[in-house]
Structure 1
Amino acid sequence: MVAKINVGSSLYGALSYNGEKVNEGEGKLLTSNKIFDNGTGTVDIARAMADFERYLPERMRTEKHVMHISLNPHPDDKLTDTELADIAREYMEKIGYGEQPFVVFKHEDIDRQHLHIVSVRVGKDGKRLNNDYIHRRSKRATEALEKQYNLRPSGSRRQRMELGALHKVNPAEGNVKRQVGNVLKSISGNYRFQTLGEYRALLSLYNITVEETRGKVSGREYRGFVYSALDEKGNKVGNPLKASLFGKYAGCDAFDKRCSSSKTEIESKDLGKYTKGKVFAAMGKSSGKQELITNLKAKGIDVVLRETDTGRIYGVTFIDHNTGCVLNGSRMGKELSANALEQWVERKEAQYADKPAYTPQGEAPEQRELFEKQSENDSPTGGLFDNLSLLPDGTDPEEEAFRRQMQRKKKKRKGMKI
């Protein structure tokens, strides 16, 4: 089970976001503490707001006094509403907020069941409650609840990504809004991208596209996102869906913030080098475009190519599910730009047109060991064949590497002569 904790200043915004989903039949009110619940499973947002305000002083020293938590069991954990309500209450107890007013909502707008808890993080005196090590306390709480209720552990990042249970949108199955929402919610916060093009490439994996809309209403400028489902050929299907149908996480403001934070994270942690290393390694093993795509997919990297009607590559984006990074090829260097990749494809396909793809199996043990070591090397600059696999003059990279080795040996021998 994964818990995500967000803090903010708009109590009404958190209540209305959850309350409207419930009242539209896309969720349930499971339980509450110190907040009125009429037992119908629906929400009186105004009444809930008034009840919360009774516990808030007129003057608060804490600006971000609202706590909005999502609890996400694994999709394979099948729990009753009673069990989910109990888990939410016990979670709040374990993190030290059991005596606070809170409301627990169950969302059913996407394929996996998950909970949202709205509470406040200040006492009646307006002071912030103890928030030290809150994420550590939350992790201990979810681990204890996993054992208590025999739930699947959240574990690694790869296991956390399973929460999305992502499937391509299939308009033939109906309820396209729900299918699109399932994808958007699942990828929200789990991927790093820096442009609309990179975000669109990520969505294309699941038969979704997004367009930015701008205009004026009553003299005021507006900007928004509109999502559409795609068929297997990439054509739009059905009616477009406004971002407001899904929540703030699908809108422009959330997108802008994600782009900004992604840029900082990718640069500070140098995350692109891991993807770049794997791409170079896969290129060293691949005989052409399709084999490259297959080899990278086996390493957890999807490749989205943009091609002309004649099949020429004019854009490439790599989506690394291991690091959660979406990177245009040119962002990792001109060696992986669309033009360079197109040249590599042409060279490789010509090279392997009349012979089977290269395999190191027939080489001597020491040569095979060197090849495999370089192929698995994550560093794009640490391998013998790195960068050489993209030589623009069409030279075979392995032959070029061998030629340079021979030149170095020849220079050494000349230097030894007296």
Structure 2
Amino acid sequence: MIANIGRGESLFGALSYNQLKVEKENGEILYTHKIVETVNGLYTTAQLARSFEPYLAANNKTEKPILHISLNPNPKDQVSDEKFQAIALDYMEQMGYRNQPFVVFKHTDIDRTHIHIVSVCVDEKGKKISDSFEKRRSVNISRALEQKYGLIPTTEKEHLQNDSIFRPVDYIKGDLKSQIASVVRHLPKYYRFQTMGEYNALLSLFNITADEVKGELHGTEKQGLVYSVLNENREKTSNPFKASLFGKSAGYHALHEHFKKSKESLKNEHANSSLKNIIQVAMHMATDEKSFKKQLQEHGINTVVRINDNGRVYGITFIDHNNKTVLNGSHLGKEFSANVFNDWWNNDKRPQIENINSKKPIVEPVIAKDLYNREKPHDLFDFLNYNTVSYNQNEPSFIESLGGLLPEVQVEDYEEQLFENQMKKKKRKLGQ
């Protein structure tokens, strides 16, 4: 069993990420500890958050008081809900967090079921609970729990073999082909995008760009795709790599088929309404481009802005890592088009925000105030460790920290899928 521990500032971010899984029927609340019960046994993010408020209110010194832990059994393990509950309680007790409120979420959106635990690392007096030798203790506890509950042993080394997937390409490290492959072979499996522009916006998070190439061979028109690596100035820094090097899923025809399927699946997508509401809240509360992007980061949404040499915003794309969708602003509606943001950020014409439907905003006012009024940069484990992207070459940096581009929980899910594939390969090699 592999345990991953994340720490952050935003309780709302951690809870809403997991609660979204529940709402989409890709997860469930498996167990609550020291959480105020509701009449019907169902919870909203705000209701869950209230049980943590006394601990966070008492906290005075700990910058990252929120814990977000995932426990990931071997793919071949079949773990019942009761056993998952027992494992979670055992793990939290041995790590020193048994007296804290926590929520155990079960995720079922990938082949291997696993659990996430949201808690706090400060006690009721606001004192930080010791995290000395946390990594070592967690590994030892995981090994002991494997024996206690009859789980298949899994080493950290095996898990880390897949650590390179969904990492930004670093042109200085070399072996660019392998680095590109670790990204482009898998993106279409997880994300929906309808155009080359949206695909390139997603690729830009990984320092990659794709170009369509057309030509004629023996009188027949041919179409293809090549990938190149970008440096910190958004300039191509490698020779182009043919898409055929990375398999059919990364090729021209497969991607255009993916565009069609994505367009069809997004026609009546309720998640689009949620995304619109989140963007509208950010537009209403943000003061400028920087704070707008920061607020969307709180919800796991990257903002990719395209700016020409004259500084005009000519394109804006929103990458929602919760719903795994990539949408140009124009696809969401004219009120989210590039012109609107250009007028706001360059001409000081603030857009008039109207609620798109009669539903209440997703972010409740009290929590929203807490989210949006922070001055320090957020550094939450799920999706707050990265910077938003701009094609403006005048910006000094594209991504300041390589390991934190995507939500860590999301990355972990991808790693789990690869880990399962690795286990299958080993099984075939052994002739089992």
Structure 2-normalised TM-score? 0.46
Q: Counting helix residues as a fraction of each chain, which structure ranks higher?
A: 1
Q: Please say which structure displays the higher CA radius of gyration.
A: 1
Structure 1-normalised TM-score? 0.47
Q: Which has the higher contact order (CA 8 A, sep 6+)?
A: 2
